[in-house]
Structure 1
Amino acid sequence: MLLSIDWDAFSGCVPLVFDAPIWGTRDREHDRLAAWWDRARKREPQAPGWAALETDFPLYSGWEALEAYRGIPAAVTLSHADAWAWLERWPGQDVLNVDSHHDLASFSGDGARLRPGNWAGLGLRAGRVRRYTCLYPDWHTGLPVAEGYALERTRSELAPLLPPDVLARVTLTRMTAPGAGLPDPSRVTALLLVQSPAWTNPAHDAEFWGLARTLRAEVLVPPLDRSASA
Structure 2
Amino acid sequence: MLLSIDWDAFSGCMPLVFDAPIWGTRDREYDRLGAWWDRARKRDPRAPGWTALEADFPLYPGWEVLECYAGIPATVALTHADAWAWLAAFPAGDVLNVDSHHDLASFSGDPARVRPGNWAGLSLRAGRLNRYTCLYPDWHAELPVAEGFDLERTRAELVPLLPGDVLERVTLTRMAAPGAGLPDPADVKALLLVQSPAWTNPAHDAVFWQLARTLRARPLTPPLDRSAPA
Give TM-score, length-normalised by structure 2. Answer: 0.99
* Alignment match, 2:96: 96
| Structure 1 residues 146-188: Cα deviation after superposition (integer angstroms, max 9, x where no partner) | 0000000000000000000000000000000000000000000
Q: C-alpha separation between the residues in 1 aligned to 2:189 and 2:111?
A: 29
> 2:77 is matched with which residue?
77
| Paired position in structure 1 for 2:182 | 182
Aligned to 1:156: 156
For 1:191, give the aligned amino acid. L
Q: What is the match of residue 46 of structure 1? A: 46
Tell me the distance in 1 between the aligned counterparts of 2:159 and 2:72.
35
Query: Aligned-pair RMSD on alpha carbons?
Result: 0.5
What is the number of equivalent residue pairs in this alignment?
Answer: 230
Tell me the distance in 1 between the aligned counterparts of 2:57 and 2:40: 10
Paired with 2:227 and 2:206, the residues of 1 have a C-alpha distance of 7
Counterpart residue identity of residue 84, structure 1: W
Partner of 1:193: 193
Residue 141 (structure 1) aligns with: 141
Please report the TM-score for the alignment, with normalisation by the length of structure 1: 0.99
1:109 Cα deviation from its structure 2 partner? 1.2
Shift of 1:91: 2.6
1:29 aligns to what?
Answer: 29
Runs of 4+ with >2 A deviation: none
Whichever residue aligns with residue 39 of structure 1, its letter is: R
List gaps (5 residues or longer) in structure 1: none
Once the two structures are TM-superposed, the CA of residue 213 in structure 1 deviates from its matched residue by 0.1
Corresponding residue number in structure 1 for 2:113: 113
Summarize the alignment of residues 197-212 of structure 1 with structure 2, pairs less than 5 Å apart.
197-212=197-212
**Partner SS, residue 209 of structure 1:** helix
The residue number in structure 2 matching 1:63 is: 63
Where in structure 2 are there 5+ consecutive unaligned residues?
Answer: none
Render the CA deviation track for 1:94-149: whole Å, top value 9, x for unaligned.
00000000000001111111000000000000110010000000000000000000
